[in-house]
Amino acid sequence: MSQPAELFGRDPVAIVDALVRRGRAAMEAFAASDQARVDEAVTALAWSLYKPENAEALAAMAVEDTGLGNASDKVVKNQRKTFGTLRDLMRVRSVGIVEEQPERGLVKYAKPVGVVGAVTPSTNPAATPVNKAMMALKGRNAIVIAPSPAGLATTTRTVELMRAGLQKIGAPADLVQVLPPPVDKASTQALMAACDLVVVTGSQSNVRAAYRSGTPAIGVGAGNVSVIVDSSAKLDEAAAKIAASKCFDNATSCSSENAAIVLDNVYDDALAALQRAGGYLANAAEKEAIRDTLWVDGKLNRRVIAKDIGVFAAECGLGGKARGARFFMVEESGIGADHPFSDEKLALVLTVYRAQSFDDAVDKVRAIMAVKGRGHSVGIHTREIAHARRLAEELDTARVLVNMAHTFGNGGGFDSGLNFTLSMGCGTWQGNSISENLNYRHFLNITHLAVPIPEDRPSEEALFGAYWEKYGK
């Protein structure tokens, strides 16, 4: 089959129009599918990445293409996210009647949103495209993926495998397509303008472009996760979870802990626990070397972000125990533009703050979110559930995770009630249209059938009585 680029040269609008037309034709062919057939197609997409040899090959390819993360963790991510998302999707209806409320006279019917344009990041060039494609097809939509240029080869191969999976079950392959190379801003923006829904995971410039495109859009926000280690925390358990989450895929996840705020009366013991879990506590000179290496001219240095600790240590000029650690820890007291360690790092560095009280810890989390990550998520290790509830009540955040390894719970987990996803909405706090985990419901239009019910009209006294009594008529 000829690719649009071959048919239309490098005219991005013509290329995208051809892809969208193919997507619409595929949707038309798939439109009569019942729930079982839709679920079969979703499962085919899941298996195309979950299949061990594919998960391993695409993980290795992703690291080779992007230089980000590590292959062993990407295998886990490819399989775990796909398996968890499939679990979620197999438990819900998305075709025909999806909800009935007879007491309100309402019946809800699910309909497709259309051709989805999905922008995906270099950090997850296989897992995110499959994740979004599964959700899109659950609603009988087609999807066209605009990959990060750095992950183009991996994403293109991932789409080939998804298309082969659809062909295997006799479903239209054009339900899943990818922009042809070279992917650039022009072709991505053309896709945003031509599709029916844009879903963006990745750079905030792409998120803003999606909202400006004139097409309905869902964008997600930047992370910069803070986690509080409370006085009542089980310190070794907390340290083990923080370390596992911080180190997973070399901290590529937006849900990776960037700062730990530790209560004063357990500070020394918590630092010791983090060191037992593999953290290396930098001295003042080493902290300066890490800062000067991680940020160059105010921007994160691609030579060290999401790299193995040995690579990072060598770039910083650190040796000995530092090179054998799992991650670095730097003690910090400042927060704001003049204190870069309070920002997101995408690297194996955990900033550690001492809090004099729980009030102080909450204030520090709020200040860190003002630097970056407002609306995203916060963690706490505690045995005082009231402290966790206070964070949920007071902070501008979409998620508060309690006693969890943040990376493994925030985007869905088998011990977390959050939906499996690779895209976390941050609400209007970060300029997003959703404040929950991206899921299949965002890929559905709903028709409401309403029939008459017994009149539900309260008296004026019932509605205004309390107001009248207090303020008069």
Please check whether residue 373 lies inside any domain of the structure.
yes
Please check whether residue 464 lies inside any domain of the structure.
no
Copy the structure tokens of residue 114: 């259309």
Average pLDDT, the chain: 96
> CA distances (Å), 332 to each of 287, 296, 319, 342, in order?
10, 19, 22, 8
Q: What does the pLDDT read at residue 4?
A: 57
Q: Do both 21 and 37 map to the same domain? A: yes
* Percent of the chain topping pLDDT 70: 98
* Percent of the chain topping pLDDT 90: 96
**DSSP string covering 72-104, please?**
HHHHHHHHHHHHHHHHHHHTS--SEEEEEEGGG
Q: What does the pLDDT read at residue 175?
A: 98
CA–CA distance, 312 with 306 (Å, rounded to integer)? 9
Q: Do both 306 and 203 map to the same domain? A: no
Please check whether residue 467 lies inside any domain of the structure.
no
Q: Do both 353 and 301 map to the same domain? A: yes
Please check whether residue 152 lies inside any domain of the structure.
yes
Host domain of residue 405 = 225-409
- The question of whether 254 is a catalytic residue gets the answer yes
pTM higher than 0.75 for the full model? Answer: yes
pLDDT single digits (tens) 378-409: 999 999 999 999 999 999 999 999 999 999 99
- Please classify residue 461 by burial: count the beta carbons closer than 10 Å to its beta carbon, then call 0-12 exposed, 13-18 middle and 19+ buried: exposed
Please check whether residue 247 lies inside any domain of the structure.
yes
**Across residues 178-200, what is the average pLDDT?**
96
Q: Do both 166 and 251 map to the same domain? A: no
Q: What does the pLDDT read at residue 319?
A: 87
Which residue in this structure is represented by tokens 């107001």?
467
CA–CA distance, 450 with 210 (Å, rounded to integer)? 34
Q: Do both 15 and 61 map to the same domain? A: yes
Residue 170: which CATH number? 3.40.605.10
Q: Do both 80 and 119 map to the same domain? A: yes
Q: What angle do CA 457, 462, 465 make, to 5 degrees?
A: 145
Total structural domains in the chain?
2
Residue 389: which CATH number? 3.40.309.10
- C-alpha of 84 from chain center: 14
**Across residues 441-461, what is the average pLDDT?**
97
Please check whether residue 455 lies inside any domain of the structure.
no
Q: Do both 233 and 142 map to the same domain? A: no
Please check whether residue 364 lies inside any domain of the structure.
yes
Catalytic residue among 195, 247, 254, 426: 254
What pLDDT band is residue 370 in, cutting at 50, 70 and 90? very high
What pLDDT band is residue 10 in, cutting at 50, 70 and 90? confident
pLDDT single digits (tens) 55-90: 999 999 999 999 999 999 999 999 999 999 999 999
Q: Do both 236 and 99 map to the same domain? A: no
Q: Do both 9 and 113 map to the same domain? A: yes
Please check whether residue 471 lies inside any domain of the structure.
no
Q: Do both 67 and 210 map to the same domain? A: yes
**Across residues 162-169, what is the average pLDDT?**
98
Q: Do both 230 and 216 map to the same domain? A: no
Q: What does the pLDDT read at residue 6?
A: 56
Q: Do both 175 and 257 map to the same domain? A: no
pLDDT exceeds 60 at position 1: no
pLDDT exceeds 80 at position 7: no
pLDDT single digits (tens) 99-134: 999 999 999 999 999 999 999 999 999 999 999 999
